[in-house]
């Protein structure tokens, strides 16, 4: 079933979460363990992130650096197929512009279609660490809106090779990303909202947000989106803070502001066990308020360890 169908059918806010494929070499049981822990909250769909190749540098015996391109977390499509087969829950693979030519994209969509995976979250992806800004593949997409247009094109039977015979129309439900505190490259929030609108015009049927800690920012964002004519469901993304280090790395990586009260509560903690508890309590308050406001679903960024998500969900769902 499609994410949009789940959202339409639901009588109350849906619980959902995303998982990361395991590091290369590890098996899938940790992922199943995380899903097992959250099953009682009835997630109708589970997102699986995509991790593009990375450049790493190894120091050689002669002191020189060797540059290698590695994929540390492959397996997104396989995990999605495994989740659907084992749990009968819809899987939502994330797919990227970065690292993909249009043909690579077409081929991955064909794989997903054959596996009866009919949901995708379409994203641009970030730049590689050795690049200062995002560089698309030659013959790849520059923006998520272009990727969304390609997927929606396949739903109408449009393939790159126009001479193909008996073309199958795919039937993907496509989501896109949105940023309550704006995407860091956008000159301002209004411009970024116009870009989000372009994604919806290209075919995104719902938007899932970047993580945020201040609900007012989310409510303001949704209000501005509605004023700009974006009518699709907007799903808030929540990540419980769990370590003191998050105070600096979350703003660096995700470009989000942390409220003063949260910073103070974390700073006052003696250790990360206490920080985890602060994160759970903050998450419970945030999610209760979002649910009361009638959000269609809450999307939890689990980052592998789900005990805190479980504790929040127990109080909220």
Q: Quick one: which segment of 33-41, 60-68, 137-145, 212-220 binds ligand FAD (CB under 6 A)?
A: 137-145
Residues β-bridged to residue 64 = none
**What tokens were used for 123?**
């994203």
Q: Which is nearer to ligand FAD, 48 or 278 (CB)?
A: 48
Q: Which is nearer to ligand FAD, 63 or 138 (CB)?
A: 138
Does position 126 interact with ligand FAD (CB under 6 A)? The reply is yes
Does position 183 interact with ligand FAD (CB under 6 A)? The reply is yes
The residues in 66-105 that bind ligand FAD, with binding defined as CB under 6 A, are 94, 96
CB 250 within 8 A of CB 241: yes
Quick one: three-class SS letters along 222-260?
A: HHHHHHCCCCCCEEEEECCCCCCCHHHHHHHHHCCCCCH
Distances (CA, A) of 11 to 178, 205, 223: 24, 19, 22
The residues in 45-64 that bind ligand FAD, with binding defined as CB under 6 A, are 49-50, 52
The helix/strand/coil state of 54 is strand
**What tokens were used for 186?**
């956008």
Q: Site for ligand FAD (CB under 6 A): which residue of 210, 215, 286, 308?
A: 210
Does position 2 interact with ligand FAD (CB under 6 A)? The reply is no
Q: Where are the beta strands (DSSP E) in 138-179?
A: 173-178
Q: Site for ligand FAD (CB under 6 A): which residue of 16, 145, 286, 308?
A: 145
Does position 286 interact with ligand FAD (CB under 6 A)? The reply is no
Does position 28 interact with ligand FAD (CB under 6 A)? The reply is no
Question: CA 312 to CA 295: how far, in whole Å?
Answer: 16
Does position 192 interact with ligand FAD (CB under 6 A)? The reply is yes
In the block, tokens 């939502």 appear at 92
Instruction: List contacts with ligand FAD (CB under 6 A).
Output: 49-50, 52, 94, 96, 123-126, 143-145, 177, 183, 185-186, 192, 195, 199, 208, 210, 237
């Amino acid at each position: 079933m499609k994410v949009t169908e789940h959202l339409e059918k639901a009588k109350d806010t849906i619980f959902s979460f995303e998982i990361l494929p395991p590091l290369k070499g590890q098996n899938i049981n940790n992922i199943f363990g995380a899903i097992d822990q959250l099953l009682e909250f009835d997630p109708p769909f589970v997102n699986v992130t995509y991790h593009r190749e990375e450049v790493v540098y190894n120091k050689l015996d002669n002191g020189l650096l060797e540059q290698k391109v590695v994929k540390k977390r492959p397996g997104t499509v396989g995990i999605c197929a495994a989740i659907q087969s084992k749990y009968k829950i819809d899987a939502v693979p994330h797919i990227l512009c970065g690292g993909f030519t249009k043909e690579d994209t077409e081929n991955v969509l064909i794989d997903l279609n054959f596996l009866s995976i009919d949901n995708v979250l379409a994203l641009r992806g970030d730049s590689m660490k050795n690049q200062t800004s995002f560089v698309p593949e030659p013959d790849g997409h520059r923006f998520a809106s272009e990727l969304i247009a390609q997927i929606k094109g396949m739903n109408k039977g449009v393939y790159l090779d126009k001479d193909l015979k008996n073309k199958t129309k795919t039937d993907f439900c496509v989501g896109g990303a949105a940023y309550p505190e704006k995407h860091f490259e956008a000159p301002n929030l209004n411009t970024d909202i116009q870009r989000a609108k372009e994604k919806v015009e290209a075919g995104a049927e719902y938007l899932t947000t970047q993580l945020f800690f201040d609900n007012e920012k989310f409510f303001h964002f949704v209000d501005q989106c509605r004023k700009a004519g974006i009518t699709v469901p907007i799903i808030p993304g929540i990540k419980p803070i769990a370590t003191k280090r998050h105070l600096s790395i979350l703003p660096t990586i995700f470009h989000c502001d942390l409220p003063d009260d949260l910073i103070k509560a974390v700073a006052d903690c003696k250790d990360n066990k206490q920080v985890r508890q602060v994160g759970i309590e903050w998450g419970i308050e945030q999610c209760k308020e979002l649910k009361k406001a009638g959000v269609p679903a809450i999307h939890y960024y689990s980052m592998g360890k789900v005990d805190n998500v479980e504790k929040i969900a127990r109080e909220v769902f």
